[in-house]
Structure 1
Amino acid sequence: MRLLRYAINVTLDGCCHHEAGLPPDEESMSWWTREMQRADAVLFGRVTYEMMESAWRRPATGRWPDWMQPWETPFAEAIDRVEKHVVSSTLDAVDWNAELVQGDLGQAVRRLKEQPGEGLFVGGVQLPLALADRGLIDEYVFLVQPVLAGHGPTLLSGLRERVHLEPVDRQVLRSGTVAQRFRPVRSGG
C-alpha cells in the first residue's frame, strides 16, 4: 500500500499561496526533487495541475526553457515523467501523463493508495483539505518559510476536525526554511 503524502510550501503565518514564500533556490529545489522522486504518482486538483503543467511540462521541442536554471531541471524532469491523477469536475480530459479521477473521491483515492509502490504525492490547497477531512493523508510535509505573508489562502483552512500529528523528521535549509514531516496520530487500539 502506498502512503499518501501532502507536501507544500507555507509561510510562518500559514499562507500557502505559491508566490507568498521565498523564491526557490538550489537547495529547496533539490529538496523538492528528492520529495518528487519518492512518489510513484501525484494527485492534483485542477488548479494545481494546470499551474504545475504550465511551469514544468517539457516543451514539445524537448528542450527546457531558457528561464529555467540548471538546478531546476532535475525537478522538472521528475515531475514531467511521474504519473498524474487529476480531480476535477470541470475538465473533460487531461494529458501530460495524466488521467482524471472519476467517481467518489474517497473510494478513488483509496484505490490509488492500494496500488503497489513507494508513495502517492498530493499538493495544492483545496484537494488536500478534502483528503484530510476524510482521514486519507498518511504524511504531512511542510516547508515552513521565514516569511509573513499577511494575506492569501491559509493551510487547511476549514478543516472540520483537529488532526493530531507526531513529528517524524525536521531539516533546516540554509535559507532558514524548515522542512518538517509529520504523521497523523491514529486513535483507537
Structure 2
Amino acid sequence: MTQPLRYGFNTTLDGCVHHEAGLPPDAESMAFWTDELRRSDTLLYGRVTYELMEGVWRRPASGPWPDWINDSEVAFAEVMDPMRKVVASTALDAVDWNAELLRGDLVDGVRRLKEQPGRGISLGGVRLPTALAAAGLIDEYTFVVHPVIAGRGPRLLDGVELTLELIERREFRSGVTVQRYRPAA
C-alpha cells in the first residue's frame, strides 16, 4: 500500500494561484491548513515553493517568531517547521530545514517516495503538481477557493485534463470554500 499524495492549494475563482491575487489568510483558513499539514508527515515542493515557504515559515535562528506572524500563523509554522521536506530541484545543490533533494527522474522519484512508510505526502506549488497530475500520481486534490477574480497570473494545473470526484465541500465565514476531490475512477 502506498501513502497518499495530496495536493492542496489556494486559488481564486478564475483558477489563479499566485498570492499576489489577494488571497489573504485568515484565522479560519490558517486553522484549516494547519490541520491539513497534520494529515501528512512529508512535504513535497519544487524549488520555488520550498524557498517561499522557508522564507516565511522556518523558525528564526533567534528562536521567537517575528511579531508580524499572528497566533494562527504561528500554529501553522509550529507544525510545518519540524516536518520532513522533499525538494524536487535540479537547480539546488543542497537544502536544509529538515529537507532532502529529490534527484533524477521526477515520476520515478515520487513513486518511490509514495512507497515509503508514512501517513501521507502533502504537495504544494504550481509547476511540480502540474507534472505529477499529468503523470496520474496525485491521490487527492484540495482547493481552497477564494471569492476573488484575479484575471491574470499562473493558473491551477494549467494544461492538465482531469476528471475529479467531489468528496468534501466546506464553507468558511469569509466566503472561502474548500473543495476536496479524488481522481474519478
Cα distance in 2 for residues equivalent to 1:87 and 1:123: 11
Aligned pair count reads 184
Cα distance in 1 for residues equivalent to 2:22 and 2:181: 21
Q: Which amino acid aligns with 1:183?
A: R
Corresponding position of 1:170: 169
Corresponding position of 2:27: 26
Q: Which amino acid aligns with 1:14?
A: G
Partner-residue secondary structure (3-state), 1:19: helix
Cα distance in 2 for residues equivalent to 1:24 and 1:155: 18
Q: CA deviation at 1:71?
A: 1.7
Q: Which runs of 5+ in 2 are unaligned?
A: none
Q: CA deviation at 1:36?
A: 0.7
Cα distance in 1 for residues equivalent to 2:61 and 2:106: 32
Q: Which amino acid aligns with 1:180?
A: Q
Q: Which amino acid aligns with 1:105?
A: L
Indicate if the aligned counterparts of 1:9 and 1:21 stay in contact, CA closer than 8 A: no
Corresponding position of 1:60: 61
Structure 1, residues 67-87: CA drift from partner, whole Å, max 9, x if none?
A: 110121110011111100001
Structure 1, residues 77-105: CA drift from partner, whole Å, max 9, x if none?
A: 11111100001111000000000001111
Aligned identity (percent) is 60
Structure 1, residues 144-172: CA drift from partner, whole Å, max 9, x if none?
A: 1100001110111122xx21100111110
Indicate if the aligned counterparts of 1:7 and 1:141 stay in contact, CA closer than 8 A: yes
Q: CA deviation at 1:19?
A: 2.5
Aligned-pair Cα RMSD in Å: 0.8
Partner-residue secondary structure (3-state), 1:156: coil
Normalising by structure 2, report the TM-score.
0.97
Partner-residue secondary structure (3-state), 2:20: coil
User: Structure 1 46/32 Cα, relative in aligned 2: closer, same or farther at 3 Å?
Assistant: same
Indicate if the aligned counterparts of 1:10 and 1:21 stay in contact, CA closer than 8 A: no
Indicate if the aligned counterparts of 1:44 and 1:122 stay in contact, CA closer than 8 A: yes
Cα distance in 1 for residues equivalent to 2:23 and 2:109: 34
Cα distance in 2 for residues equivalent to 1:46 and 1:18: 17
Q: Which amino acid aligns with 2:179?
A: Q
Q: CA deviation at 1:49?
A: 0.3
Normalising by structure 1, report the TM-score.
0.95
Cα distance in 2 for residues equivalent to 1:46 and 1:8: 16
- Write out aligned runs for 1:64-103 (5 A): 64-103=65-104
Cα distance in 2 for residues equivalent to 1:132 and 1:25: 28
Structure 1, residues 42-82: CA drift from partner, whole Å, max 9, x if none?
A: 10000000000000000011111111101211100111111
